Structure 1
Amino acid sequence: MSDPVIELLESVWDSIAGLGADLSDEQWDTPTECPGWSVRDQVSHIIGTELMLAGMKTEPPAGEGGLNDIAAFNEAQIAPRRSRPGPEVLAEMVDICGRRLEMLRIMPAEKWDEMGFTPIGKAPYRTFMHIRVFDCWAHEQDMRRALDIPGHLSGPVVQHCLDWHARNMGFVVGKKAGAPEGSNVVFDIDGDAGSPRGVAVIDGRAKPSAPAPHPTVTVHTDVDTYNALCCGRIDPGAALAAGLVTVGGDTELGKQIVLSLPYVS
C-alpha cells in the first residue's frame, strides 16, 4: 500500500537536501530561531527522528537536567553531530530519509492504521507521518529564515501544513484567545490556496467554518509569517507592531487572537 503522505515526505526532504547542498561552513553554523539550534542542528534533529522511526540505533539521552523526554532525545541526537561537517550530516539525512521512503512504500495497510505514540498523543501511524511532513517543513523554514534563503512557500507540502494549522485554529480562537459566543474569525493568508478560512464560535465551541461575509475579526498575513507565528518562532506583539500581521474588525479581539497564535509546543 502506498499512502499520498509518502510523496509529501519525499518532497520536503528533497527540498531540505537542495537547500543544504551548497552551504558554507559558516552557514551550517548559523543560529536559528529554535533556541540553541544551528542550521546543522535542524538537520540532525530530522536524522534522529527518522532513525528512531526506522528502528535503528540512536544516541541514548544523557539525562539532561530539566529536559522532558522528547527534548532530551532531540538533544542526544544533535549534540554528537555538532562537531561534524555540515555536508556529512546532510548526507546522513539523505541516506536515512531514502531508507525511510523505501520502508514506507512497502508498509502493509494495517500498519498505517496501527495506534501508537505520536507527538500529539496516541493516534494512527498515518497521523504520525502527516505530523512528520509538517515538522520537517517547519524546520526547513527555520533554516531558510536563518539563512535568508526564502523558498518552498507553495505547493502540496505547504498546503498540507497550512491545512494542519487550520485544524488547530479553533483551539487558538476559542481556548487560547477566548473569543465570545457568536464570533466569526477569518484568516486571510497570502499564499494559502485554501484562504480565506473561517472559524466560528457556536454553542461555546470554536471550530472551522465557511468564511463569514462580515466577520467579527479578520487576520491577514503571509504564509511564512503565519507559520512562524503558529510555531512560536517570532514574537506576535513584534509582528503586529511591524505590520507583518494586521487585524480588522474587532481590533482588541483580533490582537488577542494574534497573540494566541503560537500553539506548537
Structure 2
Amino acid sequence: MTAVPVEDLRAVLGTVADLIDGVGPGEWNNPTPCPEWEVRDLVNHMVLGHRLFTGILRGEATVAPGALDPAAADLLSDDPAASYRAAAEGLLLAFGQPGVLEQDFHVPVGRVPGFAAVHLRAVEELAHGWDLAQATDQQPRFPDAVVERQLEFTRDKLADVPPDQSPFAPPQPVPEHSPPLDRLAALLGRATRPDR
C-alpha cells in the first residue's frame, strides 16, 4: 500500500499550520465561509477532527453526535498554532500505525477503510484551509499536485456519501481554468471568486 496519501496529508497539515501561524491577533473573531463559525471556531473544529480521528484509529474513540462541534469543547490553548500542530502530529502518528490503511473504521461519514480516511482528512483540511485563507486574507500554498489528487478522490467518492451524512454543501459553479484548490472548494460547496 502506497504511503502517498499519508505524505499528502502531511503536506496539507503543514500548510494549514502555516496559515494558522499567519492569523493576526485581531483576526480570531473574523467570520469564515462556514456559517456561524469565526476563525477560532474553525481552527478548533479542525483540532477536534484530528483528535477524533486519532482516537478512532487507535481504537480509543467512537463517533458521537456533536463530536466535531467547536462549541462542545475548546481545545485551543493560548497558542492555537501549537495546539493544531500537536493534534496534526498525533493524527499522522495514528495513520502511521502498521496496517491502519487496510483496516475499516467508523468515521463521521460512515464505515471506510483507513486508506479513504486519510483522503477524508486531507480533503477536510484543504477545504477548511481555503476557508481560513478567505477569512484572514491569506494565500494558501498547498501543492497543486496534492490538491489534484484529493480533487480526483473527492469526485470519485462524494456520490457514495449519503446526503444526510455529507459534511459539505452542494457543489457550486467554478470556471474550468480555476486553480485546483478553488475547484475543490467549489465542489465542496464554497462560492469561489475568480479574482482571488
- Could you say whether these structures have the same fold, taking a TM-score greater than 0.5 normalized by the shorter chain as the test? yes
Give distance in 2, aligned partners of 1:149 and 1:38: 16
Q: Which residue of 2 aligns with 1:44?
A: 44
Give distance in 2, aligned partners of 1:165 and 1:114: 20
Give distance in 1, aligned partners of 2:94 and 2:75: 28
Match of 1:117 among 103, 106, 109: 106
C-alpha spacing 1:155/1:130, structure 2 compared with 1 (3 Å): same
Q: Is the 8 A contact 1:134 1:160 kept in 2?
A: no
Give distance in 2, aligned partners of 1:163 and 1:147: 27
The answer to whether 1:81 aligns with 2:74 is: yes
Q: CA deviation at 1:83?
A: 8.4
Q: CA deviation at 1:134?
A: 0.4
The answer to whether 1:231 aligns with 2:194 is: no
C-alpha spacing 1:153/1:89, structure 2 compared with 1 (3 Å): closer
Gaps of 5+ in 2: 161-174
Relative contact order, CA 8 A, sep 6+: which one is greater?
2
| TM-score, normalised relative to structure 2 | 0.74
C-alpha spacing 1:161/1:31, structure 2 compared with 1 (3 Å): same
Q: Report how many aligned residue pairs link the two structures.
A: 176
Q: Is the 8 A contact 1:81 1:89 kept in 2?
A: no
Q: CA deviation at 1:10?
A: 1.2
C-alpha spacing 1:51/1:167, structure 2 compared with 1 (3 Å): same
C-alpha spacing 1:28/1:82, structure 2 compared with 1 (3 Å): farther
> Which amino acid counterpart does residue 74 of structure 2 have in structure 1?
R
Give distance in 1, aligned partners of 2:75 and 2:36: 11
> Which amino acid counterpart does residue 50 of structure 2 have in structure 1?
E
Q: Is the 8 A contact 1:133 1:157 kept in 2?
A: no
Q: Is the 8 A contact 2:19 2:140 kept in 1?
A: no
Deviation per residue, 1:97-143 (Å, 9 max, x gap)? 112222322x112x322222234432211111111100011000001
Gaps of 5+ in 1: 62-68, 172-186, 193-222, 245-265
Which of these two proteins has the greater Rg computed from alpha carbons? 1
Q: Which residue of 2 aligns with 1:66?
A: none
1:49-68 alignment runs, 5 A limit:
49-55=49-55
> Which amino acid counterpart does residue 54 of structure 1 have in structure 2?
T
C-alpha spacing 1:42/1:53, structure 2 compared with 1 (3 Å): same
Give distance in 2, aligned partners of 1:80 and 1:169: 29
Q: Which residue of 2 aligns with 1:189?
A: 177
Q: Is the 8 A contact 1:17 1:90 kept in 2?
A: yes
Q: Percent identity over the alignment?
A: 22
Q: Aligned Cα RMSD in Å?
A: 3.1
1:99-138 alignment runs, 5 A limit:
99-105=90-96, 107-109=97-99, 111-138=100-127
Q: Is the 8 A contact 1:153 1:191 kept in 2?
A: no
Give distance in 2, aligned partners of 1:53 and 1:169: 19
1:166-205 alignment runs, 5 A limit:
166-167=155-156, 188-192=176-180
C-alpha spacing 1:36/1:82, structure 2 compared with 1 (3 Å): farther
User: SS in structure 2 opposite 1:24?
Assistant: coil
| TM-score, normalised relative to structure 1 | 0.57
C-alpha spacing 1:166/1:100, structure 2 compared with 1 (3 Å): closer
